[in-house]
Every structure is written in C-alpha cells, then in structure tokens.
Amino acid sequence: MRKVYSWRWGFFVIGLLVMTLGFTMVIKGQDVGTGAWDVLHIALFDHFGLSIGSWNIITGLIVIAFTCIMTRKIPKVGTWINMVICGFFVDFYYWILPDATSMAAQVFYFLSGLIILGFGCGMYIAPNLGTGPRDTLMMWIVEKLGGSIKVARMSMELGVALLGWFLGGPLGVGTVVIAICSGYVVQFSLPYCRKMLLKFIGNMEGIKPFF
C-alpha cells in the first residue's frame, strides 16, 4: 500500500511541476499567444499588480468555489495542493527562465510549452489524487454535458481567453492553438500515463477512471 501511494504522489507532484513548466514557457512566448487562463492572469496582473502566480491561485479559488456549488462536493486535497504548487512555481519558473529575445525563441518556448504542459496535465491527473481547479471544472463539464476532454477543454479555454482579452490580456493566434490542441495532447497523455503508472504499482487499487 505504501508503494502504491508513493508512486501515485510521485506522479502527481512531478506532473504538476512539468505542467507548470509548460505553462510558464508559453507565457515566455506570449508574443505568439499565451494560454487562455494566462491571458486572464496577465490582464489581472497588469491591472492590479501582485504576480501572475498569485492570480493563478486567486482564480483557482474562484473556480473551486463554483465547482463545489455545482457538484456539492469538497475537492480532494490534491486539488488544493495543485493550486498552491502551480501558483508558486509559475512565478519561480518565470524568474529562472531566460527571456525570449527573438521571435524564433518565442516560437520555441510556445511550441515546447504546449507539449510539456499537455503531458504534465495527463501525468498529474493519472493518479486520481485530485485534479486542479480548472481541470476539475473540465471533468465536471465532460461528466454533465458529455463529449470528450478535448471538446470540453477547448470550449472552456476559448471562453476564458475572450474574457482575458476583453480585460486587455495578450490574446494571440497561439491562444487559439493552445485551446484547440492542448486537449488533444491531454487526451493522449492521460491514458498513456495511467498505463505507465500501473506498471510501477501493479494494480488498480484506489485509481478509478474518470470516464
């Protein structure tokens, strides 16, 4: 049992760190267009200060409150850990990653970040220890309205991107690419990471599929 939980929490934390690195790389390439939620976070940062990571946490709390009302359930502890780790490490990665000084570097950051964040998302969801606030909302949309993860994610992120753009956030062609393509990466990475995790723990105990 200890081995099972150790591997699950290991996948969870590493997945969060990988996903947050991807998000931050996309932010560094924001001239191409950043992720939908970061369009909103950057707009709020520009208007009210604090930091991008701080606004990540604040909007996460709002999403959690909404999801709690709709599902009548308190999120798992992993959801809260997700919110705090992601908010902190967005600021940390943003501080240590060098700025992109050319459009080629911006494109590199953007494309690499897109793949990395999608894989990290699948990796941290796989152990079923609690999705992040935004992915909890995404999975609730899938459960209640049907359809696939990629469609739910695409719809949610396009709506958030428009809100962020209205507030002055850096909406670009890359924002649309992320909204459309990130769901496809998660659709691939989630079952792959679940299979990889099962190779280490050897059973399905405590790991119930989302769909």
Q: What is the pLDDT of residues 49-65, one digit of tens each?
A: 888 889 989 988 888 88
Q: Please provide the size of the chain in residues.
A: 211
Of 27-36, 95-104, 198-207, the one with minimum mean pLDDT is 198-207
Higher-confidence residue of 72 and 202: namely 72
Q: What is the pLDDT of residues 140-178, one digit of tens each?
A: 777 777 666 667 777 777 788 888 888 888 777 888 787
Confirm whether 21 is domain-assigned. Answer: yes
Q: What percent of the chain has pLDDT over 90?
A: 6
Q: What is the pLDDT of residues 81-102, one digit of tens each?
A: 888 888 899 899 988 988 888 8
Residue 210: its pLDDT value, please?
39
Average pLDDT over residues 103-107: 87
CA 10 → CA 15, 16, 44, 139, distances in Å? Answer: 8, 10, 33, 22
Q: Name 15's Cβ contacts closer than 8 Å, sequence gap at least 6.
A: 120, 121, 122, 123, 124, 125, 126, 193
Confirm whether 70 is domain-assigned. Answer: yes
Average pLDDT over residues 28-37: 80
**Which candidate, 99, 93, 54, 77, places its Cα nearest to that of 5?**
77
Overall number of domains in the chain: 1
Confirm whether 109 is domain-assigned. Answer: yes
Higher-confidence residue of 25 and 137: namely 25
Q: How confident is the model at residue 209 (pLDDT cuts 50, 70, 90)?
A: very low
Residue 205: its pLDDT value, please?
53
Q: Above 90 in pLDDT, residue 21?
A: yes
Supply 181's token pair: 């393509």
Domain of residue 11 covers 1-201
Confirm whether 1 is domain-assigned. Answer: yes
Confirm whether 163 is domain-assigned. Answer: yes
Confirm whether 211 is domain-assigned. Answer: no
**181 in Cβ contact with 211 (< 8 Å):** no
Confirm whether 50 is domain-assigned. Answer: yes
Confirm whether 161 is domain-assigned. Answer: yes
Q: What is the pLDDT of residues 186-195, one digit of tens each?
A: 878 888 888 8
Higher-confidence residue of 111 and 3: namely 111
Q: Above 60 in pLDDT, residue 207?
A: no
